[in-house]
Structure 1
Amino acid sequence: MKVVRYDPFHLPDLRALYYLSRQTAFPWEDPSGYTLLDFDLVTQDESILVAVDQQRPVGFISWWPPDNFIHSLFVDPAFIRKGVGKSLLQACLAHIGRPATLKCKTANQNALQFYYAQGWLPIDTVVDAGDPYLLLAFNG
């Protein structure tokens, strides 16, 4: 597995990966509203790195450079707990300033445990349309 810059040829695989991984990561949400084009919307104008295994995308991270804000980190469910998320996060942090921030839904305990293990700290709790999330920061 290696981390590379996004290339448009990754697009079909990343659309499918984002579609499927949200179903695993967010079991409390109704997936009937998900579409393959959601990837395009959530990553628009963002920087993207892609984890590839044998030329196939197995994860991605996207961020908004002006704010050092990581917007999305998703891993193919078949590759969870294999170092993909950690590799993507480390590669992203090599490109952005500090403090880096991200938000994570409080219901997403697996992701929160992952971020805490990587040295991220909660700095605020926000309730947005009844869906609480934590704002996390990394200064390392």
Structure 2
Amino acid sequence: MAPVPYIEQIRRLYPNEPPYRWTVNLTSPWAPMLKPVRDCRIALISSGGIYHPPQEPFNPVKNDLTFREIPKTANVADLRISHYSKNARDVKDLNTIFPLDRFRELEVQGRIGELASPAFTFMGRIFTRTRLQKEMAPHLIGRLRELQIDAAFLVPV
């Protein structure tokens, strides 16, 4: 299977937007796994702009630097999408961008140690990269440390 030509696809979908400046990391931000996944406390993180009423929807304008915490016991049918991208807004099966049901199944099956609660979502397509790196990311990382997360499953939308 060929990789998805994501950058070209974004340029085709948003021809009237200024070209996005993609981040280039010269070193890897990833850390090696220290234990098997079946023993890990896993955080689910999605950029799908999902929120759980009565939480506030995300700002429909680009660059909302907030995130929402969704309890792992939430009913997926109750969740909503508030996202700048029409591709995210048009999603029919929320588990494709926020696989909460699938991770609960993995936990019951013993394939992961535990799905952490809460799970996290934010609205993708944030163009203020420096603010994302200096404001939102440290706050989110702080929450993951508080929850003693071993690994995170990231779902880009």
Relative to the length of structure 1, the TM-score reads 0.29
Q: Which has the higher strand share?
A: 1
Q: Which has the higher helix share?
A: 1
Larger radius of gyration: 2
Relative to the length of structure 2, the TM-score reads 0.27
